[in-house]
């Protein structure tokens, strides 16, 4: 059985390892058997990987699973999100660029389109496994810059192949395998699921901004309000509201907290956010005014990203 690594034991830029061709075959065949209707691999632009890694303070890349069309598995795509060196929960935090992110083909797409294609993947996965909770769906995989740099430097071809793999006997069952388009079988495998999956190692830092703010303001009395917010979140995902906003929230939340932690007047900021958005939303939810609560959630996300996050 392949031994799992823990991200808390190594620097993020070192995440990843080379595996044998036989293990590569095992992982990809397992995935094909488990998900026979799904795309097994996508082309990954070498230039796209190099471009994302060339950014400032980038420890590696989250290869986030996306779909252009939630009803078309053949529209599979990847969103390449650069990460810094600050580890929250199990993974380094995302670097959010207001102009959007690069895809596996090298196209740059807007943030709005990013959140939509990420949520399309979630909707598709729910069809494959209706019993799985939205928050437990694997969103993608992270690989550190060292192994990615070694991969792209090992070949002169323009494209890499990004395979989807599955390990039957591993804690983190979804695997990302990358190798050059040529028949070299220089394969990178990594074990860490991106936010949303179960089994993540932890640093003790909660990556949920709403949880941190509410707990800071209310202490042990926060749990009741948080349960109300979680129930509303589930309604957003399954009912008349757009789960795209929730996907956006979980993608940026840890990075947002990192930015807020750097502000000198954090306590005052938390109080202002709680009073203006969280308490007001809870009041709307309790009065069955869910439209107002959802509008406040959208407004809060827009304010926070524009004020503290965009790079």
What are the pLDDT digits (tens) for 50-71? Answer: 999 999 999 999 999 999 999 9
Q: Is residue 240 located within the same domain as residue 171?
A: no
Tokens for 94, please give them: 């995302």
Asked if residues 171 and 4 have their Cβ atoms less than 8 Å apart, the reply is yes
Query: Considering only CA atoms, which of 223, 243, 247, 225 is closest in space to residue 235?
Result: 243
Please list, in sequence order, all residues whose beta carbon lies within 8 angstroms of the beta carbon of residue 120, skipping any fewer than 6 positions away: 66, 67, 68, 69, 70
Q: Is residue 243 located within the same domain as residue 154?
A: no
What is the per-residue pLDDT for 96?
92
**Alpha carbons 138 and 123: distance in angstroms, whole number:** 12
What's the whole-model pTM score? 0.85
Backbone conformation region of residue 185, classed left if phi is above 0, alpha if psi is from -120 to 50, else beta: left
Identify the domain boundary among 139, 158, 190. 190
**Alpha carbons 191 and 200: distance in angstroms, whole number:** 10
Answer whether residue 245 is part of any domain.
yes
Answer whether residue 155 is part of any domain.
yes
Residue with tokens 């792209």: 152
**Alpha carbons 71 and 264: distance in angstroms, whole number:** 46
Crossing angle of helices 290-304 and 243-261, in 10° steps, is 40
Q: Is residue 238 located within the same domain as residue 168?
A: no
Please list, in sequence order, all residues whose beta carbon lies within 8 angstroms of the beta carbon of residue 131, skipping any fewer than 6 positions away: none
- Containing structural domain, residue 262: 209-309
Domain count across the chain: 2
Q: Is residue 14 located within the same domain as residue 61?
A: yes
Residue 188: which pLDDT band, with cuts at 50, 70 and 90? very low
Mean pLDDT along residues 220-225:
89
pLDDT at 213 > cutoff 80 = yes
Answer whether residue 232 is part of any domain.
yes
Q: Is residue 31 located within the same domain as residue 133?
A: yes
Q: Is residue 176 located within the same domain as residue 34?
A: yes
The tally of CA atoms less than 13 A away on the side-chain side of residue 261 is 13
Q: Bigger pLDDT: 20 or 8?
A: 20
Can you tell me whether residue 15 is helix, strand or coil?
coil
What is the per-residue pLDDT for 39?
95
């Amino acid at each position: 059985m392949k031994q799992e690594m823990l991200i808390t034991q190594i620097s993020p830029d070192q995440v990843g390892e080379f595996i044998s061709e036989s293990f590569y075959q095992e992982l990809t065949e397992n995935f094909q058997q488990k998900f026979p209707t799904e795309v097994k691999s996508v082309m990954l632009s070498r230039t796209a990987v190099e471009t994302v890694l060339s950014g400032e303070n980038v420890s590696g890349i989250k290869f986030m699973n996306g779909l252009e069309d939630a009803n078309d598995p053949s529209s599979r795509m990847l969103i390449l999100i650069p990460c810094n060196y600050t580890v929250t929960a199990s993974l380094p935090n995302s670097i959010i660029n207001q102009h959007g992110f690069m895809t596996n083909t090298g196209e740059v797409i807007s943030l709005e389109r990013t959140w939509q294609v990420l949520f399309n993947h979630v909707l598709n996965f729910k069809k494959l496994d209706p019993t799985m909770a939205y928050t437990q769906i694997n969103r993608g995989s992270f690989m550190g810059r060292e192994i990615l740099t070694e991969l792209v430097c090992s070949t002169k071809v323009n494209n890499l192949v990004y395979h989807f793999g599955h390990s039957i006997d591993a804690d983190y069952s979804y695997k990302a395998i990358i190798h050059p388009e040529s028949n070299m079988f220089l394969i990178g495998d990594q074990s860490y699921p991106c936010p949303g999956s179960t089994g993540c190692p932890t640093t003790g830092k909660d990556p949920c901004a709403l949880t941190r703010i509410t707990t800071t303001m209310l202490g042990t009395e926060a749990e009741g309000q948080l349960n109300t917010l979680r129930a509303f979140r589930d309604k957003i995902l399954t009912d008349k509201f757009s789960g795209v906003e929730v996907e956006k929230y979980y993608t940026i939340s840890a990075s947002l907290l990192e930015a807020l932690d750097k502000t000198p007047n954090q306590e005052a900021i938390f109080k202002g956010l709680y009073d203006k958005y969280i308490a007001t939303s809870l009041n709307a939810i309790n009065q069955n005014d869910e439209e107002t609560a959802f509008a406040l959630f959208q407004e809060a996300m827009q304010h926070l990203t524009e004020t503290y996050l965009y790079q």
